[in-house]
Amino acid sequence: MLRSKKLVPYYFLIVPLLLYLGWVIGPMLYTFYLSLTKWDGISAPVFRGLANYERLFRDPIFFTSLKNNLRWIISFITIPVVAGLGLALALNRAIPGAKFFKASFYSPLVLSLVVCGLIWSWMYHPAGGLINSVLRAVGLENLARGWLSDEKTVMWAIIAVAVWRQVGYVMVLYLAGLQGVDPQLIDAAKVDGANSWNTFRHVILPLLTPVTTIVVVISIIDSLRAFDLVSVMTRGGPYNSSSVLANFMYIEAFNNYKMGYAAAISVILFFISAVFIFIYLWRVMQDELEY
């Protein structure tokens, strides 16, 4: 009787576990299988072994997409982290309008990426867009250009939109982290004669290390998942110069009907993401053990 009572919690896990196996693990394993086949999504898959991967590592679009994802990662772990931390430090004080500014900086995150992409596409318009109109109005018409049609600027223009949206999210995470900083430690540093910079560098920043680790890992994962903005603003153009792995995978699957090849791209993306996901989970588990 006692043993059956101990098993009751496990009985409740059966249905969620079956759903997880059916909706997550099953499709994931099937994707791994499809990556070894030639399949157009209609006829039966034909097993080809590692042919898709061999082709993938000879495909220049794959390396362009991978390079763009790397640019996205570098941008996400630098600009939003620094700007978000700076805003959190500034707005963590009792200043007039702090709540308004917090809401203002966080508000872009409420908008969907599709809406953000459409709004910024209008702003980037070469003729009547806000950015070029302002540049012409202040006498800098030589800087005006087709931001989304120029291979040199298109990727950075899209990343700028993603960074603009990400800053508010990072700010909120750091604001939560700053709530855990003991004010007595800051007061002790001031008593010892530390100025604002030394207090931040030797007291606040080390205490925010767990938050920074989480912010960086989440930012990297978000960078690898980049798809919506590219799809809405350029669909990877011009000439695949703004392609990222997720967009490249989508086009190969649903435009070119190369499901097996797209599955191989998704597998590569999975393993790249898995590295950072494991780092994030390990950090979370370490924090749990400390408490």
Could you read off the pLDDT of 97-138 as tens digits, one per residue? Answer: 888 888 888 888 888 889 999 999 999 998 888 999 999 999
Confidence (pLDDT) at 282 = 80
Asked if the structure places residue 171 within a domain, the reply is yes
Residue 160 inside a domain? The answer is yes
Q: Report pLDDT for 187.
A: 76
Residue 24: inside a domain? no
pTM over 0.95: no
Q: How many domains does the chain have?
A: 1
pLDDT of residue 189: 78
Residue 7 in domain: no
Q: What is the pLDDT of residue 200?
A: 81
Question: So what's the pLDDT on residue 290?
Answer: 64
pLDDT along the chain (291 residues), means of 10: 68 86 91 93 90 94 94 92 91 82 88 91 90 90 89 94 92 89 79 79 84 86 89 91 94 93 94 83 71 57
- Give the pLDDT score at 289: 66
Q: Where residue 147 sits, what CATH number does that domain have?
A: 1.10.3720.10
d(CA 109, CA 169): 7
Residue 120 resides in a domain: yes
Q: Is residue 130 part of a domain?
A: yes
Per the structure, the complete domain to which residue 225 belongs is given by 35-182+210-290
- Please give the pLDDT value at position 2: 52
Assigned domain for 190 exists: no
- 8 located within any domain: no
